A and B are shown apart, each in its own frame.
Chain A
């Protein structure tokens, strides 16, 4: 879309306008009524999704008193950054943020490497046994051992209460393997493989210098899926981690936002009230701080993400 030159857009805009004029004449009154309803419906959808977000953002920039007395609607009241200051002064949250960054970066790298390592060989038609491997992979989608048996394995392997407990047990997603395999299969032609072999290029070299550069868009999608999953998950941390220093941001969020554990031992009533107000405000700011990284990259990657869903929808 960005490739459109300005002249072309101008021409197409003019054509569209002309067409719109013609259409206006041709469209019946019921159709116009119908379009009005469509726009109304979409506006409702937009409002329903947007307003809660606006409310949260507006509150996060308001003063503790305004938030606690419920005066904030969709615009900040008594603009202040105290909520954000409280967020960034909280060592627990900072620690969680750093941990989450670590888990996301390392976890994504591990996941992508593992996914390619199993998906690429399965995409090669001359590889005997690839269907067996695929069935082995797909079966895990149908049936799982369950929470406790998996927990016991993690315990036996010695990952419990270590950073790796959040990275290794979730390293490979079957869905991502399917996406990668389908992509390799459809994008890398067999002729290319044969030609490279005639030139004496080994499989690994071919993977590294031909397949991976060609598969960059897919790798980006898969990496994003893993990264967002890793950034947003809290369940594994909840069951595998005891040491609060290792907690990812989401678990810290849960403790503060849902279990309300943000309140030090208070001394007198006014301090208690102030603390309470700040704790309320902090929640809003914290929500914004935790979601911003994901929402910032989202508009740039949404298109690829959509493509990724489509690739996955094509059965392998």
Chain B
């Protein structure tokens, strides 16, 4: 007993810490055991969704090793031959690489640059007028296109811009301008893509800012009014600073997702004539992978894209932490 209570030499620090550590381990373990006994039905409830996450999210992640292999249908994913970074080299050396990167990047940046300020402008304008039929109508109508499917939005755009029937060309014809084949000209692709996107999502995005505007302390407005600030000044010095945190988060998130631009819309707008501008990484992956059945190369391209996304998101999260004091998650 005496030997145990004797204060050990400096090295004795370790066993004490170890003991503490072991105790903590034991408590979490017993805690888990107790929790399991107490909540076994809840754990059971989580089993199916967890299996789903493993099968449809985590196994695909491990399947991404395909990027470093030469896929052989007979041998399967794990049995196929390793080829190192050959697929990536093939992709980087392909002249299409820079075009894809450029198209993806430009399309995305343009979308953010166009839709981000417009949503704020719409929200601020809506916020300026009092509740009434006009405000409700504008809000309802601008919000509605968000619920229309991509396929329908793209076909509407095509119909409206069509050189043969489209109303835009009818209007141009009225002013004596010859019909323009907007979708057949690669120069127009980005504008069409971005502005149809703005058309569809601005009302939806404005909702978030409207909520932020509603959260601004009315006392600030009153004080500004007393000081003789007009409406414009109050917008500049009260409203804009008030929604700044929200705006920063949304912008930062948008930047983080820049390379993750979706497949759906670009693919629908694509035609052989505008391919030079409309081919983005996502559509290229689809074509090489599922149409040309080059699984390994497509996986490599997809993985390249995923890694860029991850890096962008993590970087952006760091920026957000610095600006707002906490990250986008956790």
In the complex the two chains form, what is the Cα distance from A157 to B263 in whole Å? 24
Give 1 or 0 for each of A130-153: 1 = CB within 8 Å of chain B CB: 000100111010111111111111
In the complex the two chains form, what is the Cα distance from A179 to B314 in whole Å? 22
In the complex the two chains form, what is the Cα distance from A135 to B39 in whole Å? 20
Cβ of B43 under 8 Å from chain A: yes
| Chain A residues near B302 (CB-CB < 8 A) | 145-149
| Chain A residues near B303 (CB-CB < 8 A) | 146
| Chain B residues near A55 (CB-CB < 8 A) | 160, 167
In the complex the two chains form, what is the Cα distance from A106 to B290 in whole Å? 27
Q: Which of A172, A202, A235 contacts B41 (CB 8 A)?
A: A202
- Which one of A83-91, A119-127, A215-223, A267-275 is at the interface? A119-127
Q: Is B142 a contact of A298 with CB atoms below 8 Å?
A: no
| Chain B residues near A283 (CB-CB < 8 A) | 155, 159
Within 8 A of A (CB), among B26-72: 28, 31-32, 34-36, 38-39, 41-43, 45-46, 48-50, 52-53, 55-64, 66
Q: Is A147 a contact of B298 with CB atoms below 8 Å?
A: yes
Q: Is B151 a contact of A52 with CB atoms below 8 Å?
A: no
Q: Is A46 a contact of B141 with CB atoms below 8 Å?
A: yes
CB distance from A149 to the nearest CB of B (A): 3
Within 8 A of A (CB), among B130-161: 130, 134, 137-138, 140-145, 147-152, 154-156, 158-160
| Chain A residues near B310 (CB-CB < 8 A) | 142-143
Q: Is B148 a contact of A294 with CB atoms below 8 Å?
A: yes
23 A-B residue pairs with Cβ-Cβ distance under 8 Å, sorted by A, are A31-B230, A34-B231, A38-B125, A42-B138, A45-B142, A118-B49, A127-B35, A137-B53, A140-B57, A142-B309, A145-B302, A146-B306, A149-B66, A150-B60, A151-B290, A157-B55, A204-B42, A231-B149, A234-B149, A253-B151, A258-B155, A291-B148, A295-B147
| Chain A residue at smallest Cβ distance from B59 | A153
In the complex the two chains form, what is the Cα distance from A313 to B52 in whole Å? 25
| Given A234-B151, A295-B147: A152 and B295 interface contact (C-beta under 8 Å) | yes
Q: Is B299 a contact of A148 with CB atoms below 8 Å?
A: yes
CB distance from A74 to the nearest CB of B (A): 9
- Which one of B8-16, B99-107, B203-211 is at the interface? B203-211
Cβ of A128 under 8 Å from chain B: yes
| Chain A residue at smallest Cβ distance from B271 | A258
Give 1 or 0 for each of B195-235: 1 = CB within 8 Å of chain A CB: 00001001100011001000000000000000000111000
Q: Is A313 a contact of B208 with CB atoms below 8 Å?
A: yes
| Chain B residues near A234 (CB-CB < 8 A) | 149-151, 264
| Chain A residues near B61 (CB-CB < 8 A) | 143-145, 149
Cβ of B165 under 8 Å from chain A: yes
How many contacting A-B pairs (Cβ < 8 A)? 262
Q: Is A70 a contact of B170 with CB atoms below 8 Å?
A: yes
Q: Which of B35, B134, B289 contacts A147 (CB 8 A)?
A: B289
| Chain A residues near B192 (CB-CB < 8 A) | none
Q: Is A127 a contact of B285 with CB atoms below 8 Å?
A: no
Q: Identify which of B130, B149, B282 gathers the most chain A CB atoms within 10 Å of its CB.
A: B149
| Chain A residue at smallest Cβ distance from B289 | A148
Give 1 or 0 for each of A146-168: 1 = CB within 8 Å of chain B CB: 11111111000100000000001
| Chain A residue at smallest Cβ distance from B129 | A38
Q: Which of A68, A136, A203, A239 contacts B165 (CB 8 A)?
A: A68
Give 1 or 0 for each of A73-86: 1 = CB within 8 Å of chain B CB: 10000000000000
Give 5 closest A-B pairs by Cβ, nearest first. A145-B60, A146-B302, A149-B63, A232-B149, A118-B49
| Chain B residues near A56 (CB-CB < 8 A) | 156, 159-160
CB distance from A194 to the nearest CB of B (A): 12
Chain B interface, number of residues (Cβ within 8 angstroms): 92
| Chain A residues near B285 (CB-CB < 8 A) | 146-148
Q: Identify which of B38, B48, B144 gathers the most chain A CB atoms within 10 Å of its CB.
A: B144
Q: Is A228 a contact of B41 with CB atoms below 8 Å?
A: no
Q: Which of B32, B63, B137, B309 contacts A153 (CB 8 A)?
A: B63
Q: Is B156 a contact of A42 with CB atoms below 8 Å?
A: no
In the complex the two chains form, what is the Cα distance from A202 to B37 in whole Å? 12
CB distance from B270 to the nearest CB of A (A): 10
Q: Is A257 a contact of B232 with CB atoms below 8 Å?
A: no
Question: Given A39-B134, A52-B199, A309-B207, 11 other A-B contacts at CB below 8 A?
Answer: A28-B230, A45-B142, A70-B166, A73-B170, A117-B46, A136-B53, A146-B285, A148-B285, A239-B290, A258-B155, A313-B208
Within 8 A of B (CB), among A265-316: 280, 283-284, 287, 290-291, 294-295, 298-299, 302, 306, 309-310, 313, 315
Cβ of A35 under 8 Å from chain B: yes
Q: Is A117 a contact of B49 with CB atoms below 8 Å?
A: yes
Q: Is B64 a contact of A168 with CB atoms below 8 Å?
A: no
Give 1 or 0 for each of A21-33: 1 = CB within 8 Å of chain B CB: 0000000101100
Q: Which of A114, A128, A150 contacts B49 (CB 8 A)?
A: A114
In the complex the two chains form, what is the Cα distance from A140 to B43 in whole Å? 20
| Given A147-B285, A239-B290: A204 and B41 interface contact (C-beta under 8 Å) | yes
Q: Is A258 a contact of B151 with CB atoms below 8 Å?
A: yes
Cβ of A244 under 8 Å from chain B: no
In the complex the two chains form, what is the Cα distance from A70 to B230 in whole Å? 48
